[in-house]
Structure 1
Amino acid sequence: MRVNRFTGIVPVQICYLRKIHLLDLSMNHLSGGIPTCLKNFTGMKEWKLIPRQIERRRKVSSGAVEYDIYDFNVFLMWKGRDYVFWNPEVLLSGIDFSSNHLTGAIPKEIGYLLGLVSMNLSRNNLYGEIPSQIGNLIFLEFLDLSRNNFSGNIPSTLPNIDTLGVLDLSSNNLSGRIPRGRHFETFGASNFEGNIDLCGEQLNKSCRGDETAQKPQEPVIDGEEDNKFFYGALYMSLGLGFFAGFWGFLGSMLLWKSGRIAYMRFLNKLIGYSYND
């Protein structure tokens, strides 16, 4: 039922389709909220294999017996592109409500659809927090919640979905740190951009509290400050004394000629006495 001109709300009676596996209402003019009765879709609650089987129907045409051959195929938008799946081995379970005018929050009951492989709710007016129950969808491979008004943190349960290969949370009002763990670091900035208050390595934006706290200064021990002052004054006086004595003596020898000659005679006599001894 995609690409039509349907208006109004999504009727709750649609939840009577318990065995449905693919529900595609994208690209319409639907409004209102997503029904909470989605948990009645028992066909989406488990991951199923399809037996390889081709149905042949017998018909008679102009006196001859002919057979019409029917095979199983699925047409849906997968990971942002339209695909036709011919005789898939796995019964694909997906919900696509994208490109409508839906409002409200994502029902927590979505967490009951454990066999869900694809979910696209992008390009709506949905708001509120992304329910943590989405982390229960262990077979989910494609999740697009972009271009809505979702707020709050990204659920920490999302990195638990090992099969998640495509994720788009861009253009919302999400905040806080992008969760870490498992393969979540492989998603790039384009998957999260457009969320002003979102931070993390993918966006090359540090979060509050990431800055290394400065080490507090250790308290001064009693008397330590006085010792520092004493030793500082002692070393300074020694330096000044050495400078004054050395340069006072050496300077006088260099500038006073008669004193320099008398000093040299004194040294010569001293050396002579030492040799005589």
Structure 2
Amino acid sequence: MSPEVEDNIILGLVQLTWKGIQIEFGENLHHLRSIDISCNNLSGDIPESVTSLLKLISLNLSRNSFTGVLPNKFGQLEMLESLDLSRNQISGSIPPSFSSLHYLSVLDLSYNNLSGRIPLSTQLQSFNASQFSGNLGLCGQPLTPECPGDAPTEGPAVPNGSGSDKTKQDDDGLISFGFYVSLVLGFIIGFWSVCGTLVLKTSWRYAYFRFFDDIKARIM
């Protein structure tokens, strides 16, 4: 493909072989399905007009010297399945409109000067981190877990009082266990202290029963 570019208006005749069929595009360039001008010495900004090629399925501008920022309206290319902009000098952030590229199956933005957060979308986060590597200022999934300055992820909110209630329940459980242990030990020690003495010492046994007989007699 060898169109002339002047003031972002594509001129001339384009001959393209698509699926074995040779097609000529003149004024109807908006019907283009594929553009591959990789490995050239092209420079300057990526023309905004490329985002008007709404039928575009594949775009490869890799290994050139493109500078500037990515066009904000890239999301208009909703049919795009393959996008390779790697190994250029593109700067700025990835436009939020990239989240609208739902059919992307091939993506390579590596080795540019991109920065900022990678937009969240089902497609972008499904690619390998290598497709975003070489952009020192770029952050976010799948490249990094989070971006600098992000607040730490907080756990689910705990209803008021539920934490203290749980602690209280745990404390009650420990107290109840200790209480029952103490109760059992106290019963055993008390029982054998009294009953064991009465069994072993005859004089104490007689005195014990005499004491209750005296009480009984006074009541009667």
The question of a shared fold, defined as TM-score above 0.5 by the shorter chain, is answered with yes
User: 5 Å matches for 1:95-174?
Assistant: 95-174=35-114
Shift of 1:271: 8.4
**Corresponding residue for 2:11?**
16
Q: Following the alignment from structure 1 to structure 2, what is the Cα–Cα distance between the partners of residues 128 and 273?
A: 112
Separation of aligned partners in 1, 2:26 and 2:150: 43
What CA distance in whole angstroms lies between the structure 1 residues aligned with 2:40 and 2:216?
115
* Identity percentage of aligned residues: 41
Q: How far, CA to CA, are the matches of 2:76 and 2:98 in structure 1?
A: 9
Secondary structure (helix, strand or coil) at the match of 2:42 reads strand
Q: Secondary structure at the match of 1:15?
A: strand
Residue 184 of structure 1 deviates from its aligned partner by 2.4
Contact 1:159 1:184 in 2 (8 A): yes
- In structure 1, give the amino acid aligned to 2:57: V
Q: What amino acid does structure 1 have at the position aligned with 2:14?
A: I
Higher helix share: 2
Q: Distance in 2 between matches of 1:22 and 1:274?
A: 122
TM-score normalized with structure 2 length:
0.59
- How far apart are 1:166 and its partner, in Å? 0.8
Instruction: Let me know the Cα RMSD of the aligned residues.
Output: 3.4
- Cα distance in 1 for partners of 2:85, 2:213 equals 104
- Quote the Cα distance in structure 1 between the aligned partners of 2:132 and 2:34: 23
Aligned counterpart, 1:185: 125
- Asked whether the equivalents of residues 21 and 93 of structure 1 are also in contact (C-alpha less than 8 Å), the reply is no
Unpaired segments of 5 or more residues in structure 1?
A: 3-9, 24-39, 47-91, 215-267
How far off its partner does 1:172 sit?
1.1
The answer for unaligned runs of 5 or more in structure 2 is: 18-24, 156-207
1:253 is aligned to: none
Q: Which amino acid aligns with 1:199?
A: C
- Residue identity matched to 1:187: F
Deviations 1:247-275 (A, max 9, x none): xxxxxxxxxxxxxxxxxxxxx9x989767
Higher strand share: 1
Letter in 2 for 1:16: L
Cα 1:213/1:98, change in 2 over 3 Å: same
* Contact 1:44/1:116 (<8 A) preserved: no
TM-score (norm. length: structure 1): 0.48
In 2, Cα distance between equivalents of 1:135 and 1:175: 19
Q: Does the CA contact (< 8 Å) of 2:62 and 2:88 recur in 1?
A: yes
Measured in 2, the distance between the counterparts of 1:133 and 1:275 equals 105
Quick one: higher RCO (CA 8 Å, sep 6+), 1 or 2?
1
How many angstroms does 1:212 deviate by?
A: 3.6
Say how many residue pairs are matched.
157
Query: Which residues in structure 2 correspond to 1:246-257 (within 5 Å)?
Result: none
Query: Which residue in the other structure is 2:29 paired with?
Result: 44
The offset of 1:41, in angstroms, is 5.8
